[in-house]
Structure 1
């Protein structure tokens, strides 16, 4: 990484973010060869603390969605694989909303609402809320390596799966996986 070490810190951070995005895009392209990105399931693990804002600038956290299943998508308007999957995320939100599952698409665009709102309008995104993380706090807290990255969070607020790269979120198999992963775990009965 001699080339990166000679760059100033902000440029180095941008170069690393771009490299991560390219790596995630390549991983997503490979995973989509059979039609779907691949969710990497994991044992339930608690989420770290991080914040983000709504379109009006009001602060929020994942705790604001207690009891809901979440599809937490980290994306940006400048990221081609992110842009490609946004319509499928919008359709997934429409399909899952009545079941108490929210697609929480956190934009890392520095332009905030002024940048994301026209993007939604121009692409016909109607079901997703406008959530902003222009400083990338969520990505840092969650150890995200590139955009897009999506976490499936169960109703107890624990990460259950992660996918790096774009996916076809509105496909029946993906919707079924989301429903299964966010479900409330039944306590095991002793016999």
Structure 2
């Protein structure tokens, strides 16, 4: 089991990341001491689509799965209410645009991260380890980098820390983060969303977690149960 302390960088690293984020004109890094990140309820528009209506009907399922989020993933909160995230867009490993809908039939752990975000950097090896062990035709960790500019910096970082299993997903426009923010899902980085095979949000959290831990693996198993 991974050491939980590795996912919460020293205050000086968080401060450095905050400064870097401001200089880059990026969103604020989530600070682990803040309690507000996991209390913001997702919003569903008044003119909800049929997909949203279908997702709302899964509220009981979302609560049941989120109840399994304990220990190192205890920050994960049930979607209230569940909503469709099929249209969330980003670039795939081949550089071409895609959406969550392109992963229909697969449960997704969607993580938004940036190289200037210290907590994001700290949890990336754990996300890679989770994908290596639990990734399958039924489950994938999709870690989307939101650095502005070209791919050079994020690719170099992932190479330096030995990430080998995660696909290289990107959104240099930060539109994905802004969409998550508009929906009440994101206050800073990292932000993580558990999405079911029909594209419905099951649970979400702001801040890092021990994604390579036994707690995380049990959570994935619960999300994959019929």
Q: TM-score range by the shorter chain?
A: 0.7 to 0.9
Structure 1: distance between partners of 2:101 and 2:30? 31
Query: In structure 1, what is the equivalent of residue 77 of structure 2?
Result: 40
Q: Deviations over 1:118-153 (max 9, x none)?
A: 111100000100000111121111221100000000
Query: In structure 1, what is the equivalent of residue 178 of structure 2?
Result: 140
Residue among 20, 25, 34 paired with 1:14: 25
Moved more, 72-81 or 55-64: 55-64
Unaligned runs of 5+ in 1: 1-10, 185-191
Higher helix share: 1
Higher strand share: 1
User: What secondary structure, in the 3-state scheme, does the structure 1 residue paired with 2:223 have?
Assistant: helix
Size of the alignment, in residue pairs?
A: 166
- 1:46-125 residue pairs with structure 2 within 5 A? 46-47=84-85, 49-98=87-136, 100-125=138-163
Structure 1: distance between partners of 2:204 and 2:72? 17
Q: Deviations over 1:32-79 (max 9, x none)?
A: xx6445111124321262321124421111111110010000000110
1:178 aligns with 2:216: no
Preserved contact between residue 48 and residue 142 of structure 1 (Cα < 8 Å): no
Structure 2: distance between partners of 1:94 and 1:152? 17
Q: 1:46 to 1:132 in 2, by over 3 A?
A: same
Q: 1:155 to 1:26 in 2, by over 3 A?
A: same
Structure 1: distance between partners of 2:189 and 2:166? 18
Preserved contact between residue 30 and residue 206 of structure 2 (Cα < 8 Å): no
Structure 2: distance between partners of 1:26 and 1:182? 31
Unaligned runs of 5+ in 2: 1-21, 39-70
Structure 2: distance between partners of 1:167 and 1:48? 24
Query: In structure 1, what is the equivalent of residue 13 of structure 2?
Result: none
Normalising to structure 2: TM-score of the pair?
A: 0.66
Query: In structure 1, what is the equivalent of residue 201 of structure 2?
Result: 159
Q: 1:135 to 1:118 in 2, by over 3 A?
A: same
Query: In structure 2, what is the equivalent of residue 8 of structure 1?
Result: none
